[in-house]
Chains A and B, each alone.
Chain A
Amino acid sequence: MTITLTVNREERIFSGDPRTPLVDVLRDHLRMTGTKAVCREGFCGACMVHVDGAPMASCLLPVGSLDGAAVTTIEGVATMEHLNAVQQAFEDHDVVQCGMCFPGMVMTMSRLFQTNTSPDRDEIKAAMTGNICRCTGYERIIDALMSIRTNEVTS
């Protein structure tokens, strides 16, 4: 079974076991290691990617179900020259600690700011429920996100 995906706007083909979780296809076959495989049960958020625009836990997605889908990973959410607003806020507020959770945090929160340009603190916390920071940097992360509440939609 051959599966065709668009990953970060490039067409990619996978010919292995269609039950393989998307996170393993990204990391092991496409060498996109920004997406992290941590809990593998959809609870930590480190493997979050966008599938057809929606943040999804890639550890729970069999790649065979995604034939024809558009996937965006942390490598494709912005460019090195122009970080998106969430990435820029995290850097400006120096909130990145070990870094394991941050790709997933960026993917979840970028989508939040696309759908709600001015979320309050509780809305940010609710959206972040599925992204666990083992360094427990939550309040500083939320402070950084609060700083970008504007009418500008993130890329």
Chain B
Amino acid sequence: MDITPYPKLFLANDLNEALRALRELADSAIPLAGATWVMRAPLRCETADRTLIDLSRIEALRTINIDQQEAVIGALATHEQIANALNGYNDLAALAQAAGHSANPAIRRMATIGGNICTAEFAAADLVPALLALDARLEIEGLDGSRTQTMAAFLEARATRAHTDLVTRLIIPRTQRTSTHARLTLRKAGDYPVANLSVSIALGAGGKISAATVAVGAVEAVAKRWTGFEEAIIGHAPSPEKMQMIAKTCLEEFDGRDAMDAPGWYRLRVLTGLVANAFSTLQETTLGRAM
């Protein structure tokens, strides 16, 4: 294959140009969104000499639109943009908080939501559990057309997906729920979480939980829904103490990930504390006003 028309960094002017380059260069190219993961490849001892297909000029992928039915977030929206745009929406608070507290301000200014969810090797992404908890769907475009996919389905196939398609938008249904995100870092700030958790709940009669979606990141290699806990908390008042007690009985769903920053058992140990923190935050903010 003749790849000489492409420099080692190709600035795509539109989506079709990017998709064509990715298809023509196949494994010798990688999409570049915020650059915060790709540019650290040498620190991970990755030596592949790949062409970067820079998406940053595709302005259409930066937009964020929120109406009463859904929030549609372009894949190139940065964490900073998302935190600002979603501020004040109770149902979307988990994503706003995840975007607003990840890493540090300079990283949040660069790192994109598309890059965050497409980086299969990054287990501690904050946006992924938030998107799972908010029941987000992804819009994916290729030269053959576009399709949508649930976050769970995307994550299941993420590690082996080809980079010839691009995630273009995240679509989050608006609800009457309230949500929050909790994370534990080894340093107080500016660090990756050893565990993180997003919670989205609806309250029914008597202030009891009538519906819940909870997702956990960083504990295992890929973030996932905590379905046993979701079912167990239905019908209970959302007190932090009660929620933590229930969480302790639902930990068997996880197989903690051993890594340099923390052993697997530690991630599980702190997870129930994160549950208490998340429900405390809900009580102090939105639930406190609703109850």
Chain A residues within 8 Å of B, Cβ to Cβ: 1, 17-19, 21, 40-43, 45, 48, 54-57, 59-62, 64-65, 67, 108, 126-127, 129-130, 132
Contact: B106 with A48, CB < 8 Å?
A: yes
B contact patch SS: mixed
On whether A42 and B9 interact (CB within 8 A), knowing A54-B109, A62-B52, A65-B54, the answer reads: no
Chain B residues lying within 8 Å of A62, measured Cβ to Cβ, are: 9, 32, 35, 39, 52, 54
Instruction: Give 17 pairs: A residue, B residue, CB < 8 Å, sorted on A.
Output: A18-B8, A40-B43, A41-B43, A42-B106, A55-B105, A60-B35, A60-B40, A60-B110, A61-B39, A62-B54, A64-B7, A64-B9, A108-B105, A129-B105, A129-B189, A130-B103, A130-B107
A82: min CB distance to chain B, Å? 26
Chain B residues within 8 Å of A, Cβ to Cβ: 7-9, 11, 32, 35-36, 39-40, 42-43, 52, 54, 56, 103-107, 109-110, 189-190
Q: How far is the CA of A31 from the CA of B233 in the complex (A)?
A: 60
User: Most chain-A Cβ atoms within 10 A of its Cβ — which of B8, B9, B35, B103?
Assistant: B9
User: Most chain-A Cβ atoms within 10 A of its Cβ — which of B54, B56, B105, B106?
Assistant: B106
Chain A residues lying within 8 Å of B54, measured Cβ to Cβ, are: 62, 64-65
Contact: B8 with A1, CB < 8 Å?
A: yes
Q: Which of A19, A48, A56 sits near B9, CB closer than 8 Å?
A: A19
Chain B residues lying within 8 Å of A57, measured Cβ to Cβ, are: 106-107, 110
Q: How far is the CA of A67 from the CA of B9 in the complex (A)?
A: 11
Contact: B40 with A40, CB < 8 Å?
A: yes
Contact: B105 with A127, CB < 8 Å?
A: yes
Contact: A17 with B8, CB < 8 Å?
A: yes
User: Which B-chain residue is minimally distant from A54 (CB atoms)?
Assistant: B109
What number of A-B contacts does a CB cutoff of 8 Å give? 86
Contact: A1 with B9, CB < 8 Å?
A: yes
Q: How far is the CA of A20 from the CA of B52 in the complex (A)?
A: 11
Q: How far is the CA of A18 from the CA of B39 in the complex (A)?
A: 12
Chain B residues lying within 8 Å of A59, measured Cβ to Cβ, are: 39
Q: How far is the CA of A57 from the CA of B34 in the complex (A)?
A: 12
B183: min CB distance to chain A, Å? 14
Chain A residues lying within 8 Å of B7, measured Cβ to Cβ, are: 1, 18, 64
A56: min CB distance to chain B, Å? 6
User: Which B-chain residue is minimally distant from A1 (CB atoms)?
Assistant: B7
Chain B residues lying within 8 Å of A18, measured Cβ to Cβ, are: 7-9, 52
Q: How far is the CA of A61 from the CA of B52 in the complex (A)?
A: 12
Q: How far is the CA of A64 from the CA of B9 in the complex (A)?
A: 6
Contact: A130 with B104, CB < 8 Å?
A: yes
User: Which B-chain residue is minimally distant from A127 (CB atoms)?
Assistant: B105
On whether A65 and B35 interact (CB within 8 A), knowing A40-B40, A48-B106, A60-B110, the answer reads: yes
User: Which A-chain residue is minimally distant from B41 (CB atoms)?
Assistant: A19
